[in-house]
Amino acid sequence: MPVVGVGIDVCEIERFAAALRRTPGLRARLFTPDEAGRGDASLAARFAAKEALAKALGAPAGLEWQDAEVVSESSGRPRLEVRGTVAAACAALGVASLHVSLSHDAGVASAVVVLES
């Protein structure tokens, strides 16, 4: 399958956690209810994944944060679920499969997203 897009992003965990504390509505705007209850490092990694996904899509205007969700399979492997605005952007590019990798260490969370047709 040909690669349609690749995105990468990093997020400083403590800085992101401070932003969530400082702006109470931010958590609800960025994350689905299932994501929102996670710890700081996990949320920072999920935010990085959503940013990386937007970059892989070419950063089109109008993407809604909650239209991309990072879910964990029973094995712990992360998977992207898309709907609404993000699903439409994927369809416009012919995306058939999405791959995501998350990491957090030394105070930094990171994510890589690969889109294939």
The domain spans of the chain are 3-116
Q: How many CB atoms lie within 10 A of CB 71?
A: 13
Mean pLDDT in residue range 87-111? 97
Cα distances from 96 to residues 1, 13, 62, in angstroms, run 9, 31, 21
Residues 104, 41: contact at Cβ < 8 Å? yes
CATH number of 3-116: 3.90.470.20
Mean pLDDT in residue range 7-17? 98
Residues 50, 89: contact at Cβ < 8 Å? no
pLDDT at residue 1 is higher than 90: no
Residues 62, 85: contact at Cβ < 8 Å? yes
Tens of pLDDT, residue by residue over 18-57, are: 999 999 899 999 999 999 999 999 999 999 999 999 999 9
First-to-final CA distance of the chain: 6
Q: Please tell me whether the overall predicted TM-score, pTM, comes out greater than 0.85 for this model.
A: yes
